Amino acid sequence: MTADATKETLGFQTEVKQLLHLMIHSLYSNKEIFLRELISNASDAADKLRFLSLSNPDIMEGEGDLKIRIDFDADEKTVTISDNGIGMNREDVIHHLGTIAKSGTSEFLQKLTGDEKKDSQLIGQFGVGFYSAFVVADRVDVLTRKAGEPADNGVRWSSAGEGEFTVEPATRAQRGTTVTLHLREGEEEFADGWRLRSIITKYSDHISLPIEMLKNEPAAGDDNEAETKAEDKAPEYEVVNKATALWTRSRNEISDEEYKEFYKHIAHDFEEPLSWTHNRVEGKQEYTSLLYIPKRAPFDLYQREASRGLKLYVQRVFIMDDADQFMPMYLRFMKGVLDSNDLPLNISREILQSNRTVETIKSALTKRSLDMIRKLEPEDYKAFWKQFGQVLKEGPAEDYANREKIAGLLRFASTHTGTSEQVVSLDDYIERMKEGQEKIYYITAENYTAAANSPHLEIFRKKGVEVLLMYDRIDEWMMGYLFDYKDKHFANIAKGDLDLGEIETEEDKKQQEEVEKSSEDLVKRLQEALAAKVSEVKVSHRLTDSPACLVAGAYDMGAQMRQIMEAAGQSLPESKPTMEINPGHPLMERLNAEVQEDQFAELANVVFDQAALSEGRPLEDPAQYVKRINKLLMDALGS
């Protein structure tokens, strides 16, 4: 069967079409990254081959000298990147070059706005890899053969980067992959040795694999000299990068630019990292770690099943891309490399999960990561919190040993900041605590506005006591695991009996007792009218301006958490709140004066529903509430 007879034309996955179109039109200002991405892919292919050879030496086919080679042809306007790594078979080619196998791809693409500048930043979060070739090329050809398979099992792939690609059988004597870019009109600058070398030095100098180019390439116009050299001897290649694993070098030898470019290589990120730390541990255990904090969250940060973790090397041999056993889930945004001397070369994911050395390294890397976050400059920390704050809030539940450290990194809006954008640390809060204040007060709500306007805050505002405003969906769940910080206990002001400690004076307590005594009849009538809705009615000392508020039991689930659990399909036991009233409010005085019990019950239900609405609780019967309000309005208008 001839090659033409078995040539097949296939369509790109829909997401690939969208991404290709976007990249071609959005990355015009940073075209040269195509070479970084293709070299990075070639390096990964070599790493994977080296790892497989640990258990199957024959897969090297007698050629253990792994390298990347860059060629160009100015006349043909082509750039070629070749490697002798793992290579691909037909199934691999269709899977890797025709689809994007990433969870959340569709959701990511829906975020694209059509604004080329903004969208190019989103692409950086997504990672472009092979498809960046089409930023400078109007056709890309790939010739590849998987290691360990016969020479005639090669595959040729070709596409113009539009709607489809072709795949056909080919013969390739050497394992690995060759990618040939046919440059677009106006992109001829990349078919130049000096230009390509400068890009390699800028972006890929840290690649541990040798990157080779022709030695002493003739300058443009030296055709006669080129022909003479070609006749004299075969082309001679030289290594144009340092070809040393960056993390194995001394920190004093590595520039900031090299650290930044290495981050972009391992994270497939366009942006520079916020911070990094490079550390070598010797003694009982020996390993080197290079950890990075990204500047921007990846698009799939909240998909917990997405790949994450560090690049794992054992004695400088690549083992896996996403070793997630060395970082807790709440630090899943961390990127970097771990190179251990204490793990076996044939380590697997299953063995990693039960290895004591892994737990020791994980503990050390977790503390190092938290310290790195703590040391960020204020502006950098502000950027970090905006991107990763909600993920960090998972920490108190997942990592008991570091709960205090994590708590010190948390940030919240408060009644003293005035806006949701201005946040405070727990240390800031403790420093501003009122004299006699022993607790850290907070409230949870569905959003910032609901938290900031909650009637539960009234007594605190009157006495100038700061309250933390928590409105992220994760906050109430998080506070179920965060009980204290620096010996100060947390207190949810919307749950249980309110304890103001020494902030409340003896005079306050005496006045409270007098109000409770004078309101016994009103409390009793309300208790009877609302027996089906409340567990208790009592006089409040939280309220100064509102007529009533609802308070959950000290150990009950709050309204926000109940909504989340119910939305997730969880059946929850019935829980009635306590209704606290402010007898001095005009509405309560009017209610107390009502002699008709039917009318009293109607008004009592209106007050209850208003209290529920003020803290974001859903009404059991909204239509009935509207009828009651309408009746009150009609009565007030004399209709």
What's the token pair of residue 264? 């972009």
Please spell the DSSP secondary structure of 127-166, one letter per residue: --GGGGGGGTEEEEEEEEE-TTS-GGGEEEEEE-SSSEEE
Number of domains in the chain: 4
Q: For residues 78 and 181, give the distance between their C-alpha atoms in angstroms, rounded to a whole number.
A: 5
SS3 content of the chain, % helix, strand, coil (to 5): 45, 20, 35
Give the pLDDT band (50/70/90) at residue 498: confident
Minimal CA–CA distance to 287: which of 247, 239, 251? Answer: 247
Residue 395 lies in a domain: no
Q: Does 237 share its domain with 258?
A: no
- What CATH code is carried by the domain that includes residue 159? 3.30.565.10
338 occurs within a structural domain = yes
Check whether residue 111 and residue 152 sit in a common domain: yes
Residues 191 and 127 in one domain: yes
Whether residue 566 is contained in a domain is answered as no
Q: What is the Cα–Cα distance from 261 to 497, expressed in whole angstroms?
A: 56
pLDDT in tens, 148-186: 999 999 999 999 988 889 999 999 999 999 999 999 999
Q: Would you state the pLDDT for residue 100?
A: 62
Identify the CA nearest to 269 among candidates 334, 174, 223: 334
Is residue 128, in this structure, part of any structural domain at all?
yes
Convert the pLDDT of each residue in 37-56 to its tens digit. Answer: 899 889 989 988 988 898 89
Same domain assignment for residues 229 and 285? no
At which of 446, 472, 503 does a domain end?
Answer: 503
Q: What is the pLDDT of residue 351?
A: 79
The whole-angstrom separation of Cα 544 and Cα 274 is 46
> Looking at the structure, do residues 352 and 371 belong to the same domain, yes or no?
yes
Contacts of 525 by beta carbon, 8 Å cutoff, 6+ apart: 597, 600, 604
- The pLDDT tens digits of the residues spanning 281-331 come to 998 889 999 999 999 888 778 776 777 889 998 888 788 888 899 999 999
Domain that holds residue 465: 410-503
Residue 129 in contact with residue 268, Cβ under 8 Å?
Answer: yes
Nearest to 336 by CA among 278, 385, 415: 278
Whether residues 525 and 497 fall in one domain? no
How far apart, in whole angstroms, are the C-alpha atoms of residue 493 and residue 442?
A: 6
Q: What is the CATH number of the domain that holds 266?
A: 3.30.230.80
The predicted-structure confidence for 541-599, as pLDDT tens digits, reads as follows: 889 999 999 998 887 777 667 666 766 677 777 788 999 999 999 999 989 998 888 88
Residue 376 lies inside a defined structural domain of this protein: yes
pTM of the model: 0.76
Mark out the alpha helices in 298-400 (DSSP H runs): 349-353, 356-374, 378-392, 395-398
Judge if 362 and 445 occupy the same domain.
no
Contact between residue 616 and residue 445 where contact means Cβ atoms under 8 Å apart: yes
Query: Does 133 map to a domain?
Result: yes
Instruction: Identify the helix (H) or strand (E) that includes residue 451.
Output: helix 448-452
CB atoms within 10 A of CB 56: 10
Say if residue 398 is exposed, middle or buried (CB neighbours under 10 Å; 0-12, 13-18, 19+). Answer: middle
Residues 629, 605: contact at Cβ < 8 Å? no
Q: Choose one of 364, 380, 396: the last residue of a domain.
A: 380
CATH number of the domain that 478 lies in? 3.40.50.11260
Does 225 share its domain with 256?
no
The answer to whether 295 and 267 are in contact (CB under 8 A) is no
Tens of pLDDT along 318-355? 888 888 999 999 999 999 999 998 888 777 777 788 78
pLDDT more than 70, % of the chain: 88
